[in-house]
Structure 1
Amino acid sequence: MKQMLILLCCISILVLSGGCVEKEEKEKRQNRDFTICTVEQTPDEVKKIIENKKKNPFQFTYSLQEYMYIVVGYGEQKGGGYSIEVVEFTEDREHVYVNTNLLGSDDTAGEELHSYPYIVIKCVKPEKNIIFL
């Protein structure tokens, strides 16, 4: 009888504790709309910040009214003709994720010249933190 009571208690504990495990699923990221700004479309305030930071790699955000400008610069590069691709611009409930990639230059003759490639991404201002990948 005592063994039966102990066995029943053990089974009850196992059954009741089984509901305590919480399964956490990785949240999927959704694509987010954005626009790449030309120099003419970039606000003057953002241009000034870029000018001050351009010699070294940088990342920053700038909010203006209902928009946010997300800027990624790659610092001083030899030659010209670089381009930048947006690899990822996604969001989940808490964050916006930004991943860009500097694409090489075909300009081998202009190695004595220097350029400062950067990209300005414009989106509706998120109420989330920006994560640069």
Structure 2
Amino acid sequence: MAQVKATNNRFFSIAGFSLLFAYLLSFLFEGQVLYSMLAYNNVVGSPYILVAIIAHFAGLFSGGFFVKSQIIARYTMLGSMVICLMATVPFYFSPSLLWAVGLIVSGYAGGCAVASWGYSLKAFTSKNQRIKSCA
């Protein structure tokens, strides 16, 4: 029974990471969705993308400091994913300062979620399976 629970946790960990990175790569990190929205509104994208990447780095760096247990990692991942989705709402409207704020917030939250996933990877995946999980 413990093997089934460990496999189940590993599956949910990988599924959550996959969905999060689908969002990050299609939107925050020079994704086609963000580029299309910037081009549609005739907005220069370089400052927005740079701010998002810096915020993501800050989230990765600081996320490792406060994620110290399995339950905190899970709550951080889920909360960060919700924050990322909510921070995307301003992009349904015309360009404003809220776009930069949304990118900063979702970049930081995405970084915290990735750092939390690293903890989950270490906790739920055996050493010989980690490369397969990351791939």
Normalised to the residue count of structure 1, the TM-score between the two structures is 0.24
Higher-strand-fraction structure: 1
Q: Which has the larger radius of gyration?
A: 1
Normalised to the residue count of structure 2, the TM-score between the two structures is 0.23
Higher-helix-fraction structure: 2
Q: Which has the higher contact order (CA 8 A, sep 6+)?
A: 2
